A and B are shown apart, each in its own frame.
Chain A
Amino acid sequence: MVAGSIASAHGREDSPVKLEIDDLSIGYGGQTILDNVNLSIREHEIFGIIGPANAGKTSFLKALNRMDMFNSSMQVDGTIRFNGRDIKALRNVYALRSRIGVVFPLPVGLPLTVYDNVAMAPRLAGTTKKAELDVIVERCLTRAALWDEVKDRLKSLGSLLSGGQQQRLTIARALSQNPELLMLDEFSIAVDPVTTMRIEDVLKELRNEITIILVTNLVQQARRLADRTAFFLGGECVEVGPTEQLFQGDVKDQRTRDYIAGRFG
């Protein structure tokens, strides 16, 4: 497969652009949360976003998925191009969302069985054969490091799993969409360190197939995973750069250095 050749190109300047964000500003009821962000995210890279609370990280993800449509007070200005297409001009926003998997910090296990939670997206996409669904469900649950724990109770309710398990169920569900872009918002907040490492390994593998945006409070997690990292602070995108470069102190803005060094935030 081409995966190998692409894998070597993580974060390289020559990878095609997956997401192009121009002059993105987000506000809620007139209050600006994120101001004038310009960046692009390339195919097959893990793009890390770090920054303290209220930096606008989550709102940024919401804008990419057109979640502003769920909340009439959320105002998004600027242009976001997904595969070169302006997502505001898209007629079929469902097709956009089905290509983007999202995981938010608080897990949402749908009140369906574990199996149906993971099989829902494939079903929406038209897969009805039991055998095919079985394969997808097992693969996604395995990747989310949950299969071993739930393989004997696929028919029990997803919403009755523990918090950490629900989080991994949410990850499995996002993967079941077979997304082109996976957005993770502090996915490890409810997950133990060992499992977090297992999921991180999966993310590294997934990079060969898809693009990942990783919002994290754990600066070291960004260092472990992200090819490039953006630092958001108080609604401003302070800096974007290759992760290693930022962590070695090669920064344009002193605030980035301070945050990474743990001097504030």
Chain B
Amino acid sequence: MFAATELNQRDKNTQTLFRMGFMLVTALLILPVLLILATLVYKGGSIISAEFLFGDPTNGMREGGIFPALYGTVWLVAVALLVSVPLGVAAAVYLSEYAGDNWFTRVINLAIINLAGVPSIVHALFGVGAFVLFFGIGTSILAASLTLAIMTLPVVIVATRESLQAVPREFREACWNMGATRWQTIRRVVLPNAVSGILTGVILEVSRTTGETAPIMFTGAAFFLPFLPESVFDQTMALSLHLYVITTQVPGVPEALPFGVALVLIGMVLLMNSFSIALRMWLRGRKKW
């Protein structure tokens, strides 16, 4: 009685077809990642060494290391995070926990979506106009990081807001019923349970900030700077701009050098991401409902 009819068989074949098809498409997605990594390792892997990572560029950036750029990128990303995470989380908490659905929040939401769609070169010009010139910060780490922060703010806001809204409403009501204020509820129950989602936003932000070139090239990143920045008001070199410069602006650069820089850049992003992912997994293991 369980013998397959012709119709059953056809359904089964269709099912197999779709499953294989989707699997193939998914597998194809890994291909570019693997190809990029393989090319970088193949062409630039040989140049990676302690001197490369911790040395200064010499001979007009045609030789030597990349330490000032590496150091500068860490600075830029760190300062951008320091600005955008608190701002973004605060805005998301307001939008998700306090504000109702009214014209004001709708305008804000529209602004966030539009901010996310602005090309990075436009952010760069805004950064020059606002931070470098209007606020008189000058081309510096601070100005560049602020520009990066503004650019990545929508990512942080959207990720945070979504993770806040994933915390069931019953938890909030249970707290309110005990006489907790909105803020007490947010601090004790909502935020601790949204941390892993917020971290997802931060991961995305770190990746994007590390690789961006346009927003920093007019606002704080230098073409070549033979010394390290001492404060956020100094200019700095940055990996992404350095890669752009040695690839397009400096003649006679050995082939391995740009590939090596790109490998370090990607390695840095992967390293920071793995750290965040590990942290997120640890948090998720602790908090469950």
Are B100 and A70 touching (Cβ within 8 A)?
no
Q: Say yes or no for A111: interface residue by CB 8 A criterion.
A: yes
Q: Say yes or no for B32: interface residue by CB 8 A criterion.
A: no
**A-facing mask of B189-207, CB < 8 A → 1, else 0?**
1001100000000000000
A35-43, A50-58, A92-100, A215-223 - the one binding chain B? A92-100
Interface size bracket, B side: 20 to 34
Q: Say yes or no for B175: interface residue by CB 8 A criterion.
A: yes
The docked-state distance in angstroms from the alpha carbon of A98 to that of B192 is 23
Are A159 and B288 touching (Cβ within 8 A)?
yes
Interface centre among B171, B177, B289 (most CB of A within 10 A): B177
* CB under 8 Å from chain A, chain B span 162-202: 170-171, 173-181, 184, 188-189, 192-193
User: Interface size (A, Cβ < 8 Å)?
Assistant: 28
- B287's closest neighbor in chain A, by CB? A111
* CB under 8 Å from chain A, chain B span 199-219: none
Which residues of chain A are near B189, meaning CB under 8 Å? 110-112
The docked-state distance in angstroms from the alpha carbon of A110 to that of B174 is 8
Are A108 and B174 touching (Cβ within 8 A)?
yes
Distance (Å) between the CB of B102 and the closest chain A CB?
A: 11
**B-facing mask of A172-206, CB < 8 A → 1, else 0?**
01000100000000000000000000000000000
Are A159 and B180 touching (Cβ within 8 A)?
no
Are B170 and A97 touching (Cβ within 8 A)?
no
Which residues of chain B are near A106, meaning CB under 8 Å? 170
Interface centre among A67, A96, A110 (most CB of B within 10 A): A110
- Which residues of B are interface residues toward A (Cβ below 8 A)? 100, 170-171, 173-181, 184, 188-189, 192-193, 287-289
- Which residues of A are interface residues toward B (Cβ below 8 A)? 65, 67, 70, 72, 94-100, 102, 106, 108-112, 120-121, 124-125, 157, 159-160, 170, 173, 177
